[in-house]
Amino acid sequence: MPTAYITAPRDDAQELADRLVTERHAACVNALECRSVYRWDDDVVRDDEAVLFAKTTDAAWDDLVAFVEAEHPYDVPCIERFDESFVEPGFEAWVGESVE
């Protein structure tokens, strides 16, 4: 069961999280506020962002990535995949039932 690590502007994060769940790309999304520092177009940028942890399935992974790439406001969104070595079996079953 993979978890997607996604960063987004705070103003866009809630809608992105809501749509990931309502459109069944993810069973659950946790959103945490953060302060990011990164290089873009040769400048150092400091932004208030949100980190989204989206719980999904192997079968839904490619659709989740395609959705985020299409709907994210950044030209190059941060999308990383974490593959868990352990997931509580009941939680894993719930995720599988919640994602198409």
Q: How high does pLDDT run on average in the chain?
A: 96
Domain that holds residue 55: 2-98
How many domains are contained in the chain? 1
The answer to whether 21 and 99 are in contact (CB under 8 A) is no
Averaged pLDDT for residues 63-85:
97
Q: What is the dihedral of CA 66, 67, 68, 71, to 10 degrees?
A: 120
pLDDT band at 10 (very low <50, low <70, confident <90, very high): very high
The pLDDT > 70 percentage for the chain reads 100
Q: Residue with structure tokens 């997607």?
A: 4
pLDDT at 2 over 90: yes
Q: Distances in Å between the alpha carbon of 72 and those of 65, 79, 87, 92?
A: 10, 10, 28, 27
Q: Assign residue 45 the CATH number of its domain.
A: 3.30.70.120
* Contact of 65 with 56, CB cutoff 8 Å: no
Nearest residue to 7 (alpha-carbon basis) of 46, 34, 26 = 34
